[in-house]
């Protein structure tokens, strides 16, 4: 391992790459990379693999355990993309949304999309624009999420998750990359989506569910909640359970199922639809909670939907309990 700094420096110089370029490739600051060549730091395993792949040598050679550089030629370098080729790559990822102002890029706030795009740019070495499966609001989580981007890089898909994850914070993880047809679009190709809202229903709070489930201290009858949830199933105009904030051609959606399940103190509300309006799931959950509280009858919900009056439905519950949990595509992504 003591030979690692000298071998890294020699390989870099042989490839005529400067330290800032190597730092960008690895998703490090210039000073962070310099620590490697000065022997004051050592890369974690994913970055060590990235270095071996980039220089076309074995990890054993980098560590000084052998003088044999490599048995295979190096893979196409993500630092040297072919500008004439544009591949469409779909990413399946997961993220905890507590630290972000939603998926979509914001002018003055951190977002999941911006964080992912910056990490991808250091891997493929050109600007990246990601298209996501849908907007998730500030504090909302993605247990599963799909995005796609176009790249001129020849980096193999099976290496993209590892390369990108070394450049991402721990609360965003890419789990799979798949090359898809040019026509694929993460939002336009999605046939239906499922969100799950979690409620921690106990007189006392639970520290492990802070920003991960809505703490509700009064007992909720899940059978009444299910009766109310059933009223939403079908094709309806959902204006009464949306927040004004985004333009849409129509407020008619089809809800395939709305299932309420209790496991101990945790109530999960799973909603599947062909699409969702702004804050629709959170308002639907707020409405079924109102029904459990006796503030409205489950059978009142069809009339509320017909009225289109947002004030007649329940409140928009907090974002921390909401997760995107399933997405349907014709493509295997």
**What's the whole-number mean pLDDT along residues 88-116?**
93
- pLDDT digit string, tens, across residues 87-99: 999 999 999 999 9
DSSP for 67-84, please give it. Answer: S---SSPPPPPTTS--TT
Catalytic residue among 67, 82, 137, 182: 137
| Cβ–Cβ under 8 Å, residues 213 and 264 | no
User: Does 202 lie in the same domain as 93?
Assistant: no
Q: Any bridge partners for residue 88, and if so which?
A: 150, 180
| Cβ–Cβ under 8 Å, residues 7 and 67 | no
Query: Pairing mode, if any, of strands 214-215 and 234-237?
Result: unpaired
pLDDT higher than 90, residue 142? yes
Where residue 321 sits, what CATH number does that domain have? 3.30.70.660
Specify whether 137 is catalytic.
yes
Between the two ends of the chain, the Cα-to-Cα distance in Å is: 39
User: What residues make up the domain containing 261?
Assistant: 192-328
Out of 48-52, 71-75, 314-318, pick the least confident: 71-75
Local confidence band at 246 (pLDDT 50, 70, 90 cut-offs): low
> What is the Cα 64 distance to its own chain's centre?
38
User: Does 318 lie in the same domain as 225?
Assistant: yes
DSSP for 153-175, please give it. Answer: ----GGGHHHHHHTTS-TTEEEE
Global pTM value: 0.75
Percentage of residues in the chain having pLDDT higher than 90: 66
Nearest-angstrom CA–CA distance, 129 and 205: 40
| Cβ–Cβ under 8 Å, residues 253 and 305 | no
- pLDDT digit string, tens, across residues 272-284: 999 999 999 999 9
pLDDT of residue 168: 93
Domain endpoint, select from 180, 205, 226 = 180
User: Does 175 lie in the same domain as 200?
Assistant: no
């Amino acid at each position: 391992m003591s030979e690692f700094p000298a071998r890294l420096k020699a390989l870099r110089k042989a490839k005529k790459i400067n330290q800032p370029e190597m730092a960008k490739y690895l998703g490090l600051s210039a000073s962070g990379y310099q620590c490697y060549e000065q022997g004051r730091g050592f890369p974690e395993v994913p970055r060590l693999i990235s270095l071996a792949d980039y220089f076309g040598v074995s990890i054993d050679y980098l560590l000084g355990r052998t003088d044999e550089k490599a048995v295979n030629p190096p893979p196409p370098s993500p630092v040297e993309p072919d500008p004439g080729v544009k591949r469409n790559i779909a990413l399946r990822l997961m993220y905890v949304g507590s630290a972000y102002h939603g998926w979509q890029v914001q002018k003055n706030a951190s977002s999941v999309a911006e964080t992912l795009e910056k990490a991808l740019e250091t891997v493929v070495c050109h600007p990246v624009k990601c298209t996501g499966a849908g907007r998730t609001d500030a504090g909302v989580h993605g247990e599963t999420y799909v995005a796609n981007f176009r790249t001129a890089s020849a980096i193999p898909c099976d290496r993209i998750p590892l390369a990108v994850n070394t450049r991402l914070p721990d609360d965003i993880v890419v789990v799979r990359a798949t090359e898809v047809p040019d026509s694929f679009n993460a939002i336009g190709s999605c046939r239906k989506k499922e969100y799950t809202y979690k409620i921690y229903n106990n007189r006392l709070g639970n520290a492990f569910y802070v920003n991960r489930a809505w703490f509700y201290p009064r007992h909720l009858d899940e059978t009444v909640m299910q009766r109310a949830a059933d009223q939403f199933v079908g094709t309806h105009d959902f204006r009464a359970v949306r927040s004004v904030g985004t333009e849409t051609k129509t407020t008619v959606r089809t809800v395939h199922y709305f299932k309420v399940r209790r496991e101990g103190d945790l109530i999960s509300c799973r909603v599947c639809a062909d699409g969702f309006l702004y804050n629709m799931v959170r308002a639907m959950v707020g409405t079924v909670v109102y029904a459990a509280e006796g503030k409205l009858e489950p059978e009142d919900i069809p009339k509320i939907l017909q009225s289109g009056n947002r004030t007649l439905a329940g409140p928009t519950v907090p974002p921390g309990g909401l997760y995107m949990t399933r997405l349907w595509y014709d493509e295997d992504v």
